Structure 1
Amino acid sequence: MITGLAGALAAVLIAVVATGTAAADPLADKSRETTTDDGWHIRITKTDENLDRYPNLAATLFTREGFVTLKAAADVSGSGSAPVNSGSITLGYQIGCQADVTSGAAIGLL
C-alpha cells in the first residue's frame, strides 16, 4: 500500500515539475555604437527580442526548451576613407546547464 502510494505521489510530482508553464518573455532592446579607425560610425541595434519558454519536449526534469525571435539592424554613417560595400550581423547565445554534474549524478526513488 505504502509503496503504491509513494509511486503514485512520485508520478504526480514528476508530471507537475516536467510540464511547467509556457510563457513568452520580452527582452530589452539594446544598441551599441562604435567608430572605426578610418572614420565610419557604426550602430547595431537589437529590437523586438522575445524568448518563448516551453517545457522540455522529452519530459526530462533537467533541461528546458526555448525559441527566440528578434530583429537586428546595422547602420553605417560618417565618411570613412574606404567605401563600405557589404556587411553581416551574427547572432549567438551562450547557454548553460542549470545543474552541476561535474562530479557525476545519480537519480533514484526510495
Structure 2
Amino acid sequence: MRVVRVVSVLAAVVALLLGGGVAGAAPGGSFADRSIVRTSDDGWKVRLGKFGERVHSVPALSSGHGSYEAFLDLRGTAEITGRGSSPVDAAVLTTGFQVACQWQMDGVQVGVTGGPTAQMSISYPPAMVIGAQVMPSISTTLRNGTSTDVKFATKQLRGPKAGARMEGVRVEISGCVGLAKPAVRAYVRVAMSTAVNDNTFSLYGKPHHL
C-alpha cells in the first residue's frame, strides 16, 4: 500500500509540472475562428478577427537537445465602424504569436523565418513598424518562466478595415528543457488614436504546446 501511495504522489507531481505555466494547453492542429467587438472611448466600434489559425509541429531540423520546430498559419483582421465623437487619426493592426518556455538552458533561442510581412522589434522600447518589411529571419531570447510576443505582421489601417495573413511561418525553439513543451498563443491587436483618446484592443487564441 505504501508503494502505491508513493507512485500516486509522484504521478500527481509530474502532472502538475506538465501543466505548469500553460494549464490545459491544447495540442497543435487547427483552431476555431473567433471575433470580438469593442467600443472605443470615442464611440467607434472596433471588430477584431482571428481566422485560419493552425500549428503544425514537426521534428526539429537541428535535432538538438530541447529543440522544437513548427509551421504557423494565422490571419488577423481589424475593422473600425460607426460614428465616433472624434476622427481616427491612426490605427495599426498587429498579428503574431506569444511564445513561452517553462525551463531553459542559458536563455531559450527563438528563431522565426517568414514571408515579406514577418517582422519583429527586439529593441527597447519597441519601435512601431508601419507596413510590410522583408525580414526573413528573426531571433530573440526567452527567459525562464516568461513569454515574449513574436510579431509577424504590422499593418496600418488606411480605411475602415485591414487584414494580415501569414502561412507556413517556420518557428524553431532551442534550449527549452522543461517537462512541458514550449507553448504558443496567437494574438490579434489594434492600436488606434484620435485627438482625444488612445485605445488598444486585443484578441487571443487558446494556448497550445508545440
TM-score, structure 2 normalization: 0.34
**Is 1:66 matched with 2:79?**
no
Give, in angstroms, the shift of residue 82 of structure 1: 2.0
User: For residue 46 of structure 2, what is the amino acid of its counterpart?
Assistant: I
Given that residues 44 and 74 in structure 1 are in contact (C-alpha distance below 8 angstroms), is that contact kept between their aligned partners in structure 2?
yes
Match of 1:6 in 2: none
Give, in angstroms, the shift of residue 84 of structure 1: 2.8
The structure that has the greater radius of gyration is 1
1:13-92 equivalent positions in 2, closer than 5 A:
25-84=29-88, 86-92=90-96
User: For residue 27 of structure 1, what is the amino acid of its counterpart?
Assistant: F
User: For residue 55 of structure 1, what is the amino acid of its counterpart?
Assistant: P
Task: Tell me the SS of whatever aligns to 1:38.
Answer: coil
Give, in angstroms, the shift of residue 98 of structure 1: 5.2
- In 2 relative to 1, CA 98–56 (structure 1 residues): closer, same or farther, beyond 3 Å? farther
Residue identity over aligned pairs, in percent, reads: 34
TM-score, structure 1 normalization: 0.60
Match of 1:11 in 2: none
Given that residues 62 and 99 in structure 1 are in contact (C-alpha distance below 8 angstroms), is that contact kept between their aligned partners in structure 2?
no
User: For residue 29 of structure 2, what is the amino acid of its counterpart?
Assistant: D
Aligned length: 80
Match of 1:12 in 2: none
Q: After superposition, what is the alpha-carbon deviation per residue over 1:34-87, rounded to whole angstroms, capped at 9, x for unaligned?
A: 101111010100101111211111112412111211111111111002223542
User: For residue 93 of structure 1, what is the amino acid of its counterpart?
Assistant: F
Most deviating of 67-76 and 41-50: 67-76
Q: Whose strand fraction is larger, Structure 1's or Structure 2's? A: 2
Q: Which runs of 5+ in 2 are unaligned?
A: 1-27, 106-143, 145-176, 178-210
Q: Which runs of 5+ in 1 are unaligned?
A: 1-23, 106-110
Task: Say which structure, 1 or 2, has more relative contact order (CA 8 Å, 6+ apart).
Answer: 2
Q: 2 CA distance for matches of 1:86 and 1:48? A: 27
Runs of 4+ in 1 over 4 A off after TM superposition: 98-102
